[in-house]
Structure 1
Amino acid sequence: MNPKVILFDLGDVVCRFVPERRLELLAAACGTSPQDVREALYGTGLVDLWDQGGATAGRIHETVRSELGFKGGRAELERLWCAAFDPDHEVLRLVRASRPCRTALFTNNDALLLSALPRVMPQVAECFDKLVFSCELGAKKPDPRAFEQALSEMSADPADAVFIDDKAENVSAAGRLGIPGVRFHGADALTETWKTLFPM
């Protein structure tokens, strides 16, 4: 293989995803319980709506203030939002080593995280040529439209790309569109895959 573009998932690929940490920090900031935060954001379908582009970053901040009583500013909420992600430095090393391939962070996430990532986690955002978020695409993986628009964002054909994700259904969806997919099973396994993608 000789890919020109590599699409990396965020949660549990580039970063370990720890949603409980976000819930706990938000709960502490709002004087409520993590369960109440989960219900207000996830149980109502708000997060899914936001991931599909249903609100700007500013609107998400306003909603968290009105629904949960959050009193902090936008910068503080961005910090709490990003707290759910722990960078995997071995994976980020592989991202940097993949040049001159162009790279994209291709994730199902909302406008608040898209706004926050370059400021709160520049060590992640700066590794990629482009941040491709479902909130801007109007579709989430495994929807074929999300993949098609991600390729369009990168000006790439399916056969020129490689897609890396931890979820089997997303890798399968990419394959049906002719995009070679790699199921993520940890940085060590991905390092071995890199030897196939980029033989010395």
Structure 2
Amino acid sequence: MSPPVRAVILDLGNVLAFHDNALLFRRLGARAGLDAEEAARRLSGAGWTAANRGLLGPEGIRRDVCEALGVDVPMAEFTALWNCHFTLHDAVLPHVERLEGQVKRLLLSNTNVLHVAWLKPRLPVLERFDHLVLSCETGHVKPEPAIYEEALRHAGCAPDEAAFFDDLPEYVAAANTLGIRGHLFTTADAFDAQLRALGL
């Protein structure tokens, strides 16, 4: 029999906030005079991973993206473009809120400093999370074991006392390999049912 859940670890993208990468590439491409497919191709290299690992700060991200697209976009305009694809997942937020006082809440996200800076003030619930485990701060990215282990360290619990929710099956599988109780996130209603099945 599994022990009670002491920590819920949540992904950010497509869990707390939707990200429409097709829209991002379309908008960036249009600014550079490229179609979305070409913009996506040019931005699929090492720079994206470097940003997620925290190897690029805001100006480094802007410069890397602009060089890849062959255009120079001022920082204010670039920041707006770089975050244009986010929409808050309002339906899931009440389920996250009701966990307060029941379990520790942690965020575990592959992300970069510009996305974090844009999303944090728009998701005030994150201020009440016990910890935010961000790839751009740890230097590790999912599905690497080290970033899950970092989350467990801050959760202060055994792997089987933590429930992890992510929209990508490979990241859920990586959590399960470490003994964390990984769940595939699909919809707010399904998330609510998964929490209730865990006794939350």
Q: TM-score range by the shorter chain?
A: 0.7 to 0.9
**Counterpart-to-counterpart distance in 1, 2:55 and 2:134:** 13
Alpha carbons 1:117, 1:125 under 8 Å: kept: no
Instruction: Tell me what 1:78 maps to.
Output: 79
The yes-or-no answer on 1:160 pairing with 2:125 is no
Alpha carbons 2:47, 2:64 under 8 Å: kept: no
Instruction: Tell me what 2:91 maps to.
Output: 90
Structure 1 unaligned residues grouped into runs of 5+: none
**Counterpart-to-counterpart distance in 2, 1:72 and 1:4:** 45
Per-residue deviation, 1:129: 4.0
Instruction: Tell me what 1:36 maps to.
Output: 38
**Counterpart-to-counterpart distance in 2, 1:57 and 1:82:** 12
Instruction: Tell me what 1:60 maps to.
Output: 61
Alpha carbons 2:95, 2:192 under 8 Å: kept: yes
**Counterpart-to-counterpart distance in 1, 2:158 and 2:168:** 22
TM-score (structure 2 length as normaliser): 0.84
Alpha carbons 1:96, 1:127 under 8 Å: kept: no
Alpha carbons 2:15, 2:185 under 8 Å: kept: yes
The secondary structure found in structure 2 opposite 1:24 is helix
**Counterpart-to-counterpart distance in 2, 1:127 and 1:88:** 17
Instruction: Tell me what 1:109 maps to.
Output: 111
Task: Map 1:134-149 onto structure 2 (within 5 A).
Answer: 134-149=135-150
Structure 2 unaligned residues grouped into runs of 5+: none
Instruction: Tell me what 2:175 maps to.
Output: 174
Per-residue deviation, 1:194: 2.1
TM-score (structure 1 length as normaliser): 0.84
* Pick aligned residue for 2:28 from 26, 29, 32: 26
Identity %: 30
**Counterpart-to-counterpart distance in 1, 2:154 and 2:73:** 36
- Root-mean-square deviation (CA, aligned residues, Å) is 2.3
